[in-house]
Amino acid sequence: MAAPERNPWRRLLALPNESRTKTLLVAFLVATVCGVMVSGATVLLRPIQSANRAAEEQARIASLVQGIPGMAGLLDRSGGKLSTVVVDLPMGRAATEVTPAKLGTALAEAANWTVLSPAADIAGLGRRPDFAQVFLLRDGEKISLVLLPMTGQGYGGRIDAILALSGDLDTIAGIAITNHSETPGLGGRIEEPSWQAGFAGTRTRDAAGTLRFDVARGPAGGPYEVDGITGATRTGRGVAGMVRFWLGPDGYGPFLDAIRRGEF
The answer, yes or no, to whether residue 124 has pLDDT greater than 80, is yes
- In Å, what is the CA distance from 125 to each residue of 85, 151, 183? 23, 8, 20
Mean pLDDT of 138-144: 84
pTM of the model: 0.74
Q: Which residue has the higher pLDDT, 140 or 150?
A: 150
Is residue 8 scored above 70 in pLDDT? Answer: no
For 177-209, what is each residue's pLDDT tens digit? 988 999 998 999 999 989 998 999 999 999 999
Among the listed ranges 2-11, 17-26, 99-108, which one has the minimum average pLDDT value? Answer: 2-11
Q: Which has the closest alpha carbon to 256: 148, 174, 149, 175?
A: 148
The answer to whether residues 179 and 191 touch, using CB atoms and an 8 Å cutoff, is: no
Q: What is the mean pLDDT of residues 76-98?
A: 83
pLDDT at 1: 47
